[in-house]
Amino acid sequence: MSHVFISYSKKNKDYARRLADCLLDHGFDIWIDDRIDYGENWLETMFHAVVECAAFVVIMTPEARESRWVQREVAWADEREKKFFPLLLDGDNWPVFVLTQYADIRDGSLPDSAFLKRLGTFAPFRAEQGIRVTPQSKRKPTKRPEPSISPEVQRLLDMMLNPQIAPVERAEAGQKLAKLGDPRRGVGLRPDGLPDIDWVEIPAGDFTYSGDERLTLPTFYIARYPITYIQFQAFLDAPDGYERNEWWAELTPENQKQPMAEQYFKYNNHPREMVSWYEAVAFCQWLSARLGYHVSLPTEAQWEKAAQGTDGREYPWGDEYISGYANVDEVKSRAGLHYLQRTSAVGIYPQGASPYGVLDMGGNVWEWCVNTPEGDIGLDGEASRVLRGGSWNAFPDEAICVIRNWGNPDNWHCDRGFRVVCSAPMK
């Protein structure tokens, strides 16, 4: 996380651009919404920009206080405990920042050096090292690509990724989008036909594991979404894919190339379910060979850190279950009113993202981990393997980050899937 997110009302666009140029000129990496390119989904792009920011600057005016976009951005940042840097351009301080020192810029001035120095303690402040960045207003404009997403696809994306819309409606939009083609990064296939994995960096460091243990892990990368139906289908359809013996060589003979079970909820952008641990491992072996670097199932320690961050939170989004934040069965447990009774398109619960912006780590499908409940990560043998994250058919308390489930490695079910990790993806 390195950039500074700038939140503002459209009425204050001119000041926001001046501020962006000022921060760029002082060596900060900034994110402002004019970075959204043609073909990108506004809601999804802005959500990830907030989740991945090092500091959050908000330009406070009466118009910004009433803006639904600004309200949403502030809520996202607050839920993930981002460092706020409020700038009071007009009006009075906001209740949400009553305990946060703001910079008074009601004369229209840019923040002073003390503000910039403090901001630099949370976001890289390269100017102190003599590195200058050309302000955005002075950069040579580049030609943007022509729009490639149809209005109907964009409408479905906007609906599917809007947390203010009921989950059942978002899920229906996701199913319709699957038929038209889901253009999101990390959901489908690359131009060469291989799975397009959106890798999310999980920084090195320690974290609270299993509720009370401190573990340290090196940097690794995890897929933002579970492997989808269309991505796994690429493995099944490839001439060098599922039928090739080498992907199964390290597994026990009786579990090599068993008949593949049919997807229960057959939508291209839904998680691939009805997949055994052995089949998930074979997929990883194949993808590693095709990509040129090692891809595997996560250990449960890697999975847990990616899900909860470093603060030991209960759920990926915080310490309490919030209705509508995950694809789980809320009805039977009386935790809420939502129960889709099926998988959903990956990523339709953006408000339920982990601190690193990894999605669907609570609900949708249980996810296979590489290790046994005892911690063994060998690929041979028939020992049970760990599952994490809960599913569409599980209760909310089964989506708690530390909860473990396990199953036989040759077992498959319509509420089980997987995601992948690597140590260093090649660009």
Question: pLDDT tens digits for the chain (427 residues)?
Answer: 679 999 999 889 989 999 998 898 888 899 998 767 666 677 778 888 898 899 999 999 999 988 878 888 888 888 788 999 999 999 988 878 877 889 999 999 999 988 998 898 888 765 443 333 333 333 333 333 444 688 999 999 999 999 889 999 999 999 999 999 999 999 999 999 999 999 999 999 999 998 888 999 999 999 999 999 999 999 999 999 998 888 988 776 565 567 889 999 999 999 999 999 999 999 999 999 999 999 999 999 999 999 999 988 999 999 999 999 999 999 998 989 999 999 999 999 999 999 999 999 999 999 999 999 998 888 877 789 999 999 999 999 999 999 999 999 989 999 999 999 999 887 6
Cα torsion 187, 191, 193, 198: sign: negative
Question: Which residue is listed with tokens 């690429």?
Answer: 234
Q: Convert 296-329 to b/e letters by CB count within 10 Å (16 or more is b).
A: bbbbbbbbbbbbbbeebbbbbbbeebeebbbbbb
Q: Are 345 and 178 in contact (CB under 8 A)?
A: yes
Interhelix angle for 42-51 vs 68-79, to 10°?
Answer: 40
- What domains sit in the chain, N to C, each tagged with a CATH number? 4-138 (3.40.50.10140), 185-422 (3.90.1580.10)
**Residue 37 burial by CB count (10 A; 0-12/13-18/19+): exposed, middle or buried?**
exposed
Closest CA to 275 of 267, 263, 284, 287: 263
The DSSP output letter for 109 is: P
How far lies 162's CA from each of 80, 240, 315, 365, in Å? 18, 39, 20, 21
Provide the residue type at 188 as one letter: G
The backbone torsions φ and ψ at residue 69, rounded to the nearest 5 degrees and listed phi first, read: -65, -45
Compute the distance between CA of residue 386 and CA of residue 375 in angstroms, rounded to an integer: 9
d(CA 263, CA 278): 16
Closest residue by Cα to residue 222 from 423, 385, 426, 1:
423
Distance CA 250, CA 256 (A): 9
- Please give the backbone phi and psi of residue 269, each rounded to the nearest 5 degrees, phi first: -100, 10
* Count of Cβ atoms closer than 10 Å to residue 145 Cβ: 8
Angstrom CA distances, 325 to 308, 316, 359, stand at: 15, 10, 11
